[in-house]
Structure 1
């Protein structure tokens, strides 16, 4: 029955009176579904929050609760959710800054728009985890002040904060102009020198694997530099010196920076770590010459990522389409191709080029229709979901290419009901077709009944509004809870059945 109640809670056909009844019996799972209802009134939201404490935070983040609905001394977590949304009251922040539960002070430290006196209180918190959380999200002036904090963990958080002033980030990266840190999480807990076992057997140990300190807090300082290198606000003049750093973890963040000079990019293009070269390959800052160098990279992931570069030349992209597994997505360079380039790709003798452009969903009718008759199945498969294709064209695709295009034809928004019925009966079967038809807005009762025979498509079909009401009722006693829940959420259920199910509780 619990699966059914969860499904009913999400059923758009549920009346307001029945929503009230479900609120009165809701548990955490039912409340989660009720809280997502678009028709939930403010009065109902308040009642649900009072019934199930755990739903109150969800409702606050969804904008269903206001400051007037919350007493921070009774529901501090809900007050924190509203503060996090920027709609809480300043006096709440002052109250919560002194909360004895560290996790709440830590959550408060991440909230925007805190009063200056609360920022000062959190910056002086006795638990360094609270101060570090503040450092990660706070304003430029507070971040600049915390950059000189004696604890290295706080400085690491400052280095990750994009609001930190660039000059401060540069100082954290180089160490110039700042006093040395005196503590870190390692020497807080262990006698130095200490290196944390990566296979540490202690269940209560909170240190990261490999964390170490010999008095210089080296692992935290390394993490701080990595954070600063990943921070887009760190000046490029301060980061280029790390291009040849012996630590892979410090070189790697540079590959994604969009302010690197060409010389630095060229050095990263020959980095021994494939992941560094792969991140660089997708970086819009690299020029055509470097793109062509990376197109010949021995690592397949580098070539795949290069295909997603927004300015990759079309001839290089066509080559990559033949040699790299670039997937079935529309690539950025193809999405911005000019009409002339679209025409050129569509007329290419290379099926890889035609397949690339076939992924667009805004093709001119004449190009779309030409590609619909393409002899290559991969081209047709890419084009099949394109809106505007006629029933005759979709049927011709199936006749020529069979199982290779069935699932994609089933995703076409204009696929007529009769064709969908034929697709689910096609021999040999294609399992994915059942799932695609089950979620298609044009699926008929006849097609959905066939989809119910497939295990993966069954819960999808059980929720479809075109399913005959008697069938939806039968599925309420299905052996699978997921299917029962989907059937209970089906708006085609008879109102009397919905009412009876709700009032059984």
Structure 2
């Protein structure tokens, strides 16, 4: 429900009087007209505030865009904006228009949101080697621009171009002809756009063979890495699958054990494998038939039994048995499931193990009394699990409003069972992101800001405490 006029004005007044800019930043996207300009005065006047805003990854795009326009003269602000992963494309375009340092250019060349026209401009202005490398690593660069970079600046860029997923087949073919470096050729063979003719040639070295194994259906090779790559191929023939199931390299067998199309016959063989991680992988694999889980649940290794507890279709009777396992790590595998009975939740809640209790704390069926006890637990993992429980009651959540971890308090702001009055009391939290989330919550409720006459804007405001 949208908040009232007076509450919106109260938010504006408080945001403008805050000691830091984050409350005003939370309101800015929802403001219009004179209200937005008033918030801009609070946000962008002090250089220290601008520097804080430019580095904050949780700010909305509108704030970062306005910052880029208003601080075009400040190179340090521009550098922070170019480094901030949340800076949107239009803000980065403003940064480019005002950029003066080589460092800013390099950051723009590397940023995933930089517009293609800016990337093209960077490539066309005789860029320094760091900028060239950044361009070749950026998957947002147009394929034709990468081809141009390959023609003009081949030295030292071959490996980067061979790795970049935006590189097209023609450029890869050109690279293949111009390089004799085994590592570069191996990367070309791994590339999704690798020309088909290169995949049919006889590989020269072991690196090329390994890469080729990941691109085509192959199984007969003396190199274990090649066989592991082949074992992961979706179209592997059944004959090759059977052979690799008994491969001498455990890594190959582990790859087979994790296949989504694992046949029951192969499951039976892999159940007897001497490698623990092969059996654990089979136990977790949804392709493992439910009737095979009983054998795996009796495995001597706790990791295998834990794998059974995480199987998507593990039957209730096995979960009951695994909840009594002498190893808490196995019990925790049961505790994290959301399909266990109330009785099982209650039993697991009596554990003293942190992993088990963190799983219990996220269960819908856990009693309010037990959840309150978990909210007071010494372990931050357990307390965070309580906050992530969308069924936790308000009384339990209130115990965590002053938790020692800022992340926990920030997560708490968005919990559906807190009231707006509860959130408002967190407005002076010592952490900037928590304060931002509080004001952003109320700003979202306000919707589009109110453009009031001057005399009405000057009217005294009533307190938010009544919401």
| Shorter-chain TM-score range | 0.5 to 0.7
Q: Structure 1 residues 229 and 10 mapped into 2: Cα distance closer, same or farther (>3 Å)?
A: farther
Tell whether 2:266 aligns with 1:313.
no
- Alignment check: 8 A CA contact 1:166 1:235 kept: no
- Alignment check: 8 A CA contact 1:424 1:434 kept: yes
Q: Structure 1 residues 400 and 133 mapped into 2: Cα distance closer, same or farther (>3 Å)?
A: closer
Residue in 1 aligned with 2:361? 410
Tell whether 2:372 aligns with 1:421.
yes
Tell whether 2:321 aligns with 1:291.
no
- Provide the C-alpha distance between the structure 1 equivalents of 2:178 and 2:238, rounded to a whole number of angstroms: 36
Residue in 1 aligned with 2:383? 434
- Alignment check: 8 A CA contact 1:140 1:165 kept: yes
Alignment of 1:210-221 (within 5 A): 221=205
Deviation, structure 1 residue 408: 3.3
- Provide the C-alpha distance between the structure 1 equivalents of 2:108 and 2:348, rounded to a whole number of angstroms: 61
Aligned-residue RMSD, C-alpha: 4.6
- Provide the C-alpha distance between the structure 2 equivalents of 1:301 and 1:229, rounded to a whole number of angstroms: 23
Residue in 1 aligned with 2:237? 261
- Provide the C-alpha distance between the structure 2 equivalents of 1:459 and 1:124, rounded to a whole number of angstroms: 50
Query: Which stretches in structure 1 are left out of the alignment for 5+ residues?
Result: 1-6, 176-220, 356-375, 477-483, 496-505
Residue in 1 aligned with 2:207? 223
TM-score by length of 2: 0.64
Tell whether 2:3 aligns with 1:55.
no
Superposed CA deviations along residues 129-182 of structure 1, whole A, max 9, x for unmatched, are 3133223332112222322223314323312211002331232x524xxxxxxx
1:25 equivalent among 48, 51, 56: 48
Superposed CA deviations along residues 193-222 of structure 1, whole A, max 9, x for unmatched, are xxxxxxxxxxxxxxxxxxxxxxxxxxxx43
- Provide the C-alpha distance between the structure 1 equivalents of 2:339 and 2:71, rounded to a whole number of angstroms: 43
Residue in 2 aligned with 1:36? 59
- Provide the C-alpha distance between the structure 1 equivalents of 2:263 and 2:200, rounded to a whole number of angstroms: 27
Q: Structure 1 residues 136 and 163 mapped into 2: Cα distance closer, same or farther (>3 Å)?
A: same
- Provide the C-alpha distance between the structure 2 equivalents of 1:310 and 1:270, rounded to a whole number of angstroms: 21
- Provide the C-alpha distance between the structure 2 equivalents of 1:41 and 1:85, rounded to a whole number of angstroms: 13
Q: Structure 1 residues 414 and 294 mapped into 2: Cα distance closer, same or farther (>3 Å)?
A: closer
- Provide the C-alpha distance between the structure 1 equivalents of 2:334 and 2:108, rounded to a whole number of angstroms: 54
- Alignment check: 8 A CA contact 2:65 2:88 kept: no
Tell whether 2:188 aligns with 1:166.
no
Q: Structure 1 residues 492 and 96 mapped into 2: Cα distance closer, same or farther (>3 Å)?
A: closer
- Provide the C-alpha distance between the structure 1 equivalents of 2:318 and 2:260, rounded to a whole number of angstroms: 29
Alignment of 1:1-16 (within 5 A): 14-16=26-28
Q: Structure 1 residues 329 and 469 mapped into 2: Cα distance closer, same or farther (>3 Å)?
A: farther
Deviation, structure 1 residue 253: 1.8
Q: Structure 1 residues 306 and 398 mapped into 2: Cα distance closer, same or farther (>3 Å)?
A: closer
Residue in 1 aligned with 2:133? 106
- Provide the C-alpha distance between the structure 1 equivalents of 2:45 and 2:243, rounded to a whole number of angstroms: 63
Tell whether 2:171 aligns with 1:150.
no
- Provide the C-alpha distance between the structure 2 equivalents of 1:131 and 1:327, rounded to a whole number of angstroms: 47
Residue in 1 aligned with 2:96? 70
- Provide the C-alpha distance between the structure 1 equivalents of 2:237 and 2:409, rounded to a whole number of angstroms: 56
- Alignment check: 8 A CA contact 2:375 2:382 kept: yes
SS of match in other structure, 1:289: helix
Higher relative contact order (CA 8 A, sep 6+): 2
- Of 119-128 and 305-314, deviating more is 119-128
Q: Structure 1 residues 241 and 349 mapped into 2: Cα distance closer, same or farther (>3 Å)?
A: closer
Deviation, structure 1 residue 101: 1.6
Residue in 2 aligned with 1:241? 220
Q: Structure 1 residues 121 and 352 mapped into 2: Cα distance closer, same or farther (>3 Å)?
A: same
1:273 equivalent among 233, 237, 249: 249
Q: Structure 1 residues 310 and 100 mapped into 2: Cα distance closer, same or farther (>3 Å)?
A: same
- Provide the C-alpha distance between the structure 1 equivalents of 2:397 and 2:143, rounded to a whole number of angstroms: 60
- Provide the C-alpha distance between the structure 1 equivalents of 2:250 and 2:24, rounded to a whole number of angstroms: 49
